[in-house]
Amino acid sequence: MSERLADETAVVTGSSSGIGAAIATKFAEEGANVITNSRALERAQETADEITANGGTATAVEADISNPDDAHALAESAIEEYGSIDIMVNNAGISVIEPAMEMDPEDWQSVINTNLSGVFYGAQAAGTRMIDQGTGGQIINISSIFGKIGIQGRAPYNASKGGVNNLTRNLAVELAEHDIQVNALAPGFIKTQLDEQTRESGDDEMLDEDNWPYYGYDDTHIEHRVPLDRFGTLDEMQNVALFLAEGNHYTTGEILNADGGWLAFGWGSKGR
């Protein structure tokens, strides 16, 4: 086990599955003490148990990041358990797929509360404690390529991630004097267990142009939109997050796209 994050303590919100669980696991492999998190304790505990079974150090904490009191309690738990909070990964997020003109205000607000307000509360909770510690730190907000483009049916998700991008820049400016670097990781389409369960290449529903907004979400359609010609992997997201967490990179206020070239590709499809 390498030690690139030795003696560091990291909090990873929404780390019961997918990208969040992958980042928490990687950080522990690199020597960090990790606080795993979910709104359901048993789900956070599953990730923590996997980490400890592999020789790492982790504690599961139940918290709803959209609640500022929970966010502060989550950050405080890192200090209580391990003596500091050095890395904060604001990963927790949800989505609703619905036409904007038909969207229930409660659906809109629930996404904004978790994806945008939750990132602010998490950053505020971690940032204030990092300032008190006086040793700097790294705040990593998980955004999305959807924060820079429009996709049908995703208005609250896209708006929230666009907000995360500019919030990241603003926090970076405010916290720089405390040697706290704030950056965002914006993944493209990444293969996760949830993705495998909900979308299969060649599914007739996904290919039906009349079945909005599903058309275009088939594996083949997405791969044709990506210059690297494939989905990203959790291993790759781990590596980008580790780069940001380790510091020593003179980078703050940046939105780092990990999308296989999706946003750079102006043509739209390779036409195959």
Closest to 87 measured CA to CA, from 173, 172, 180, 175: 180
User: What 3-state class would DSSP assign to 74?
Assistant: helix
Q: Please state whether the peptide bond connecting residue 227 to the residue before it is cis, i.e. omega within 30 degrees of 0.
A: no
Q: Report d(CA 240, CA 243) in Å as an integer.
A: 5
Is 157 noted as a catalytic residue in this protein?
A: yes
Specify the DSSP class assigned to residue 210: T
Tokens of 43: 């789900």
User: What 3-state class would DSSP assign to 78?
Assistant: helix
Strand partners, 258: 187
Per the CB < 8 A criterion, the answer to whether 156 and 112 are in contact is yes
User: What 3-state class would DSSP assign to 122?
Assistant: helix
- Out of 82, 157, 214, 217, the active site residue is 157
Pairing label, strands 87-90, 57-62: unpaired
Amino acid at 99: P
Active site residues: 157
